[in-house]
Amino acid sequence: MIRRLRGNTQPQTSYKAQRAQPVINPIALQPEPDGVQRRALEVSHNRLMLGLGLFTVAFVVIAARLAMVTLMPGDHDAMRVAVAPSADRADILDRNGVVLATSLTTASLYANPHQIRNPDEVAVQLADVLADLPEGPTAAKLAADKSFIWLKRNLTPKQQQAVNRLGVPGLYFQYETKRVYPQGNLTAHVVGFTDVDSRGLAGVERSFDDVLAGGQRPLTLAIDVRIQHILHEEISRAMTDFTAIGGAGMVMDIQTGELLAMVSLPDFDPARPGEATADARFNRATLGTYEMGSTFKLFNTAIGLDTGTTTLAGGYDATHAIKIGRFSIDDYHGKHRWLSIPEIFTYSSNIGSAKLADAFGAEVQKTYLQRFGLLAKSPVELAEVGDPQYPKNWKRVNTMTIAYGHGVSVAPIQVLPAVGAVANGGILRQATLLKREAHEVATGTRVISEQVSAQMRQLMRLVVQVGTGKKANAPGYLVGGKTGTADKQVGRGYSENSRMAVFVAAFPMSAPRYAAVVLVDEPKPNAHSYGYATAGWVAAPVIGALVQRMAPLMGISPIPDDSPLAQNPLVAMVADYDSAASKKAKSKVIQVSAPTKDSPAADSDNDDAAPVFKAKPFGATPVSATSSDVTTPPAPEAPLETGGLPLAVE
């Protein structure tokens, strides 16, 4: 059984796991390349990588160029705009930080004529959006055989946008900086102006061109725009009222020399100086030189007192005109009697002033005028400054006429510091347009004694109280000053119908801080001036209005009339200029002679002696009579070729 079963059993198939056979790469079966083939492969590989690198670089360049074309117009766009530069010229500010000049970035239009297809058509299109581009000249420019031509500088944003909308190929913009003047005409002669390339041509822009160009810090001036505006407005009003051809004025801090205001009229727009006339661009305050008339009696009297030639108790006989050859020196509305020094000054006597000058002489006069800075060009920081004119051969007649402001021509910028020196204690500080800190103020130069300065303040105040300058009075502010009306020179002579009306002033007389000068050129009489066009009617009211408006801004409190600071004892010694008492045959001050051993001293307490002021108004010192208090008229001289002696009106 067992065998049978075994015999019937089918043989079973044996399954065993077979290991996977690797796939053989036919190339791998090839023999390794020899040296020649290996080098060939390496060269091919390097070339492939180099080509890939060059392709990558080209792609990057193209992508960058596409980005530049998309984000920034390129050289071949219809409108090419250069990168806007930063404003590299410093601002000019007033003393309180008000902007007087600054720079703005603007677009300027230019063209490449080689890219303009139809110059005539483009010129018409430009004329439609830029009215100041005439078609004919513009078409000629666009047809020129050039690759660059300016069409218009410093476009406004609206103008730039209008040109852009034209979409004309060949028109481009370049950004530049343009100088702008927010105050316009108000500070034109002070700030000046620049050319289209921002180079200073006049005013502070010119004198500080190196400082402003590329400067990061603003230039701060001493000018106060508030005072500038007041002065500008008041001089303009006077010019209108008296139909004058011009005017000028300045205000100075006499303790520091800082100029708070400088006005010259007519003026101009510094943004468009090319449209202004030569007269408008002319700075009457610094460049013009004039005979200043009786304002020079301020210096003449100060010289007489400082040299001891006379005292406030002295005087001269002004009864008759001074005869010099075929000429004479006379008074305008003279009193025709002996006049005291206060009366000579207050009534503006030419005769008395000439005799005083004759007493101290030409050399003394010349020396003092040099000390006052009246015979040298002003050092103020402007290029537009005039040179004074004075006699080369300083004769006796010159000494007499210069005493009342004729025979020497000076700029108002020279007169103002000299007035300050007379009023501030005798120290001359030259005018400056730059703001000064306390430690930067110049010490100055003494020109007259402090005592004489105090006496001159009395006299200056007297002119405004009872003299020719009453219309300069500003209640509470103790204004003092001096009028001056001078005939203008015409050739070698003088015009009787053309005059210069001047007023110089300082305030407050109790402690002077500010000085001012106002000049009105060729005023004409009007109805409310009763036919007069003298300084008392024309220039003095400008000072009065200026002080009343300016003083509160500067923190000056008004002084009551009954305050000891407001008292001036000289008023008791001088009758009002317009009163009948001033025309009486005798002065309120008794004419005195030199005291002798047989006569009472002039400064004694004897009631019969000449009256002497012993009070100390405005810090003055007592005065006394001296032997030089009275002089006789000078002896006549031989005829002099002077071309005529002018008459100082006030």
The CATH number of the domain where 517 resides is what? 3.40.710.10
Q: Kindly indicate the confidence band of residue 649, based on its pLDDT and cuts at 50, 70 and 90.
A: low
At residue 48, the pLDDT reads 79
Residue type, 397: V
DSSP state of 256: T
Q: Which residue has the tokens 């070339």?
A: 47
Q: Domain check: are 168 and 300 in the same one?
A: no
What backbone torsions phi and psi does residue 173 show, to the nearest 5 degrees?
Answer: -115, 145
Distance separating alpha carbons of residues 279 and 188, to the nearest angstrom:
13
Distance separating alpha carbons of residues 138 and 118, to the nearest angstrom:
12
Identify the burial level of 411 via C-beta atoms within 10 angstroms of its C-beta, where 0-12 means exposed, 13-18 middle and 19 or more buried: buried
Q: How many domains does the chain have?
A: 2
Distance separating alpha carbons of residues 374 and 371, to the nearest angstrom:
8
Write down the mean pLDDT value for the chain: 83
Q: Kindly indicate the confidence band of residue 445, based on its pLDDT and cuts at 50, 70 and 90.
A: very high
Distance separating alpha carbons of residues 277 and 256, to the nearest angstrom:
35
Counting every residue written for the chain, the total comes to: 650
Name 172's bridge partners: 80, 110
pLDDT exceeds cutoff 60 at 8: no
- Determine the structural domain holding residue 431 and report its residue range: 229-544+583-619
User: Does residue 44 lie within any of the structural domains?
Assistant: no
Among residues 220, 253, 275, the one where a domain terminates is 220
DSSP state of 93: E
What backbone torsions phi and psi does residue 428 show, to the nearest 5 degrees?
Answer: -90, 120
pLDDT exceeds cutoff 60 at 11: no
Per the CB < 8 A criterion, the answer to whether 105 and 87 are in contact is yes
Catalytic residue (choose from 294, 348, 349, 624)? 294
Per the CB < 8 A criterion, the answer to whether 313 and 592 are in contact is yes
At residue 18, the pLDDT reads 56
Neighbours of 511 (CB within 10 A): 15
Q: Which residue has the higher pLDDT, 93 or 604?
A: 93
User: Does residue 563 lie within any of the structural domains?
Assistant: no
Among residues 197, 220, 243, the one where a domain terminates is 220
User: Does residue 59 lie within any of the structural domains?
Assistant: no
Farthest CA pair distance, the chain: 200
User: Does residue 83 lie within any of the structural domains?
Assistant: no
- Terminal Cα distance for the chain, rounded: 175
At residue 53, the pLDDT reads 79
At residue 25, the pLDDT reads 57
C-alpha 41: how far from its chain's center? 85
At residue 72, the pLDDT reads 54
pLDDT exceeds cutoff 70 at 586: no
Q: Domain check: are 456 and 528 in the same one?
A: yes
Q: Which residue has the higher pLDDT, 610 or 213?
A: 213
User: Does residue 9 lie within any of the structural domains?
Assistant: no
Range in 164-168, 465-469, 510-514, 631-635 with the lowest mean pLDDT: 631-635
Per the CB < 8 A criterion, the answer to whether 603 and 357 are in contact is no
Q: Domain check: are 193 and 297 in the same one?
A: no
Q: Which of 318-327, 330-339, 451-460, 568-577 is the most confident on average? A: 451-460
Residue type, 52: L
C-alpha 610: how far from its chain's center? 50
Distance separating alpha carbons of residues 79 and 378, to the nearest angstrom:
52
At residue 238, the pLDDT reads 96
Q: Domain check: are 354 and 498 in the same one?
A: yes
Q: Domain check: are 265 and 184 in the same one?
A: no
Q: Domain check: are 358 and 466 in the same one?
A: yes
Residue type, 148: F
Q: Domain check: are 141 and 101 in the same one?
A: yes
pLDDT in tens, 289-330: 999 999 999 999 999 999 999 999 999 999 999 988 777 899
User: Is 294 among the residues known to form the active site?
Assistant: yes
Among residues 171, 202, 220, the one where a domain terminates is 220
Distance (Å) of CA 289 to CA 358, 383, 413, 421: 25, 15, 9, 20
pLDDT in tens, 358-369: 999 999 999 999
User: Does residue 108 lie within any of the structural domains?
Assistant: yes
Identify the burial level of 396 via C-beta atoms within 10 angstroms of its C-beta, where 0-12 means exposed, 13-18 middle and 19 or more buried: middle
Three-state SS for 294?
helix
Q: Domain check: are 214 and 237 in the same one?
A: no
Range 18-29 average pLDDT: 56
Tell me if the pTM is above 0.85.
no
Range 217-245 average pLDDT: 97
DSSP state of 261: E
Q: Domain check: are 319 and 424 in the same one?
A: yes
Q: Domain check: are 170 and 268 in the same one?
A: no
Q: Domain check: are 196 and 249 in the same one?
A: no
DSSP state of 218: P
Range in 76-80, 336-340, 484-488, 624-628 with the lowest mean pLDDT: 624-628
Q: Kindly indicate the confidence band of residue 530, based on its pLDDT and cuts at 50, 70 and 90.
A: confident
User: Does residue 65 lie within any of the structural domains?
Assistant: no
pLDDT exceeds cutoff 60 at 612: no
At residue 495, the pLDDT reads 73
Q: Domain check: are 147 and 266 in the same one?
A: no
CATH number, domain of 210, equals: 3.90.1310.10
Per the CB < 8 A criterion, the answer to whether 204 and 192 are in contact is yes
At residue 73, the pLDDT reads 46
User: Does residue 487 lie within any of the structural domains?
Assistant: yes
Range in 400-404, 437-441, 493-497 with the lowest mean pLDDT: 493-497
